Amino acid sequence: MPTMATDRVTEPTSLAAKLPDETLRKWLRDMLLIREFEVRSMQAYQNKKIGGFLHVYIGQEAVAVGTIAALKDDDPLITAYRDHGHALARGTEARYCMAEMMGRIGGCAKGKGGSMHMFDRERKMFGGHGIVGAQCPVGTGLAFATKYEDEVINSGRSRRVTLCYLGDGALNQGAFHEAMNLAGVLDLPIIFICENNGYSMGTAIARGTTMAEDLTAKALAYGFDSASLDGMDLMAVYDGIKPVVEQCRETSRPAFVEIRTYRYKGHSMSDPRKYRTKDEEQRYEAMDPIERFSKYLKAKRGFTPEANEAMIKDVRKEIREAIKWAEASPEPAPDELFTDCYTDKWGIYRGTSPPTMYDP
Amino acid sequence: MTRTIEFRDALREAMSEEMRRDKRVFLMGEEAAEYQGAYKVSRGMLDEFGPQRVIDTPISETGFAGLSVGAAMAGLRPIIEFMSWSFSLVAADQILNNAPKMLYMSGGQFPTPIVFRGNNGAGGQLGSTHSWCVESLYSNVPGLKMAVPFDAYDAKGLLKTAIRDDNPVFFLESERLLGVKGEVPEDEYLIPLGVATTRRPGGDCTIVSFGRPLYFCLEAAGVLADEGIECEVIDARTIRPLDIDTIAESVRRTNYCVVVDQSWPFASVGAEVAAQVGEVCFDDLDNHVIRVHNENVPAPYAYNLEQEMLPNARKIVEAVRAITYNA
């Protein structure tokens, strides 16, 4: 179980605290954007505008925003199906993500992926994956490729870091263990980030995972450096992950970071959350990362309540417009059924074409 | 100018030529590098290309098959060697759920140009877990291509094409064929995927097959020729795409069709080919399409039982007689 974190101001030693106002405000805005996007997605789902599975990131915003802030633009990232936060934090526009979930041609995957498959090639966002743990070996491949390109093709040194996100549930999958082992054996520049929200669907971590009370033991088994961070504190996330990223970049050695967080909603839309107490949920809601960071900016960065309100209004407007845009985007034409199955045209297959979000 | 080389050498030449041509191509697998390949297919490649391009893996099929998916998405062109296609079952999620679907799920953003290759089929008393014929199991999945080379010439030409193909290609070799010698040109050549070829012309009955069973088919054709039945043996070469046009053109001339497939009969490639021939050549067939498969049992160890399990020449001869009696 993620432990209750205390409010703290880490100024003297904090890396985040040294960053300019503009950067920190953008972080707050990104978290607000994700929160608003997820709230509206839930509404759209209840109104049957989104179908299938919907796994929202509400409560976990600081993890995506804080970790992605520590990356360079050409560092690859990959995650599982609770992926809207990562896509938005990386910079994919909300309207393309919303259109994707509404199954429209304007979506980032032309409506053929859905909520679990947010991809953005230009922003090095490699998905969005449905099978628990399956993204971990794929993540090692991303790290392998950056290292290969930098060292073999360009005769330089490995300089990019891959972030591979997984939930606490994925810790039990064979694919995770094989990925960790391969990363260690092949010296891959990858950081496995375990977003530990304490539950795999309805199963509390202690029921399914050995060493649940100290997940860094998983890293120890593979000889990796590790860290355990408070995911409800955006600055702690950034402060904790930044040195790990830079070390990985320097040494091309893998690492494992547990980030303790909490999802305020269920696993997905049909989950009544009977496996958690109201008490527990309220305790974590009191630690809302957005509230806490907003408080810090108001206390230390001259962020006025008016500016806060204006930011919230602006975010709501952006999401409203994203929804409007998405709803106006047409459904994919019947031909799309037969495109992107193969890159070439043969038989019934019609070759491939990229999503329109890259059109000028 | 041609020279005589083994099937395994043809595979190695294909990989080496493509790796020289394109630095994004790399080979990865168990014992592929320092051991010189479990079946000596990659002999010498580590010396030429170095350990960053010919890579030994731990025994971790899900791991390295998944690694190839990520590497391909990021722009590289992996060749993944399974020591046996039997071991690919461990990696099923990566090779069936990820590799063939990534382009589609990403709306055209991420092709996965990977070649998965290895030994397929009963390999001489290796027992039931090591004798898988995966063609029927995997060819069902849209998004992948599947090639089954017959000889050294085809092995090289098809493998070069597979490596250049931007889609995942499952390349099914046979341990029983690796030592078979054949004439291979010195100059570069490529064989396109999806084009069948005639291994033996004939006018009385079409036999369609791919891979090792073609040798049984040719043996059977020899026996039947002595009885006055001239079989046309068609090598499909690739299962996905399947060149139904070449097969149908033959059946329209011979009016009879036998399909030989070394995997199990139920829901098999043989059943698929039979169904397609039935649809396309209904008016030309003088009898139903008949299939010869492995017997519908796990592969036994005992030599005599395994030989009886295979779609051997005797069964193919019986099948041809069973349908052409009314000619």
Output the pLDDT for position B122.
87
How distant is the Cα of B243 from the closest Cα of chain A, in angstroms?
Answer: 10
Confidence of residue B235 (pLDDT cuts 50, 70, 90): very high
Contacts of A182 in chain B (CB under 8 A): 57-58, 60, 63-64, 67
Contacts of A222 in chain B (CB under 8 A): none
A292-311 pLDDT, tens per residue?
999 999 999 999 999 999 99
CB-defined contacts A:B, below 8 A = 164
Average confidence (pLDDT) over A197-219 = 96
pLDDT higher than 90, residue A7: no
Contacts of B243 in chain A (CB under 8 A): none
Average confidence (pLDDT) over A247-262 = 97
Output the pLDDT for position A11.
54
Average confidence (pLDDT) over A89-118 = 98
d(CA B40, CA A224): 35
Instruction: Give percent of chain A with pLDDT exceeding 90.
Output: 95
Instruction: Select which of B61, B81, B175, B306 is catalytic.
Output: B61
Residues 6+ apart with CB under 8 A from A286: none
User: Do A169 and A82 contact (CB within 8 A), yes or no?
Assistant: no
Average confidence (pLDDT) over A265-271 = 94
Output the pLDDT for position B20.
98
Confidence of residue B327 (pLDDT cuts 50, 70, 90): confident
As a whole number, the mean pLDDT across chain A is 95
pTM of model > 0.80: yes
Angle at B165 between CA B164 and CA B167, to 5 degrees: 140
User: Is B288 one of the catalytic residues?
Assistant: no
Query: Which has the closest alpha carbon to B78: B10, B26, B20?
Result: B26
d(CA A150, CA B74): 12
DSSP B228-296: T--EEEEE--EEETT-HHHHHHHHHHH--EEEE-SS-STT-HHHHHHHHHHHHSGGG-SS--EEE-S-S
Which residues lie across from B81 on neighbouring strands?
B29, B117
d(CA A348, CA A342): 10
Residue in A with minimal Cα distance to B108: A354
Average confidence (pLDDT) over A214-237 = 96
Output the pLDDT for position A1.
40
Q: Choose, out of A120, A148, A160, the residue to mutate when testing the contact with B (most B CBs < 10 Å).
A: A148
Output the pLDDT for position A12.
56
B269-318 pLDDT, tens per residue?
999 999 999 999 999 999 999 999 999 999 999 999 999 999 999 999 99
B39-55 pLDDT, tens per residue?
999 999 999 999 999 99
The helix or strand, by DSSP H or E, that contains position B72, with its residue range, turns out to be helix B61-73
User: Is B318 one of the catalytic residues?
Assistant: no
Contacts of B108 in chain A (CB under 8 A): 110, 339-340, 352-355
Confidence of residue A4 (pLDDT cuts 50, 70, 90): very low
User: Do B287 and B256 contact (CB within 8 A), yes or no?
Assistant: yes
As a whole number, the mean pLDDT across chain B is 97
Output the pLDDT for position B33.
97
B103-149 pLDDT, tens per residue?
999 999 999 999 999 999 987 899 999 999 999 999 999 999 999 99
How distant is the Cα of A346 from the closest Cα of chain B, in angstroms?
Answer: 8
Least confident of A10-19, B176-185, B249-258: A10-19
Average confidence (pLDDT) over B229-257 = 98
Whole-complex ipTM:
0.96
Average confidence (pLDDT) over B18-36 = 98
Amino acid at residue number B320: V
pLDDT higher than 80, residue B179: yes
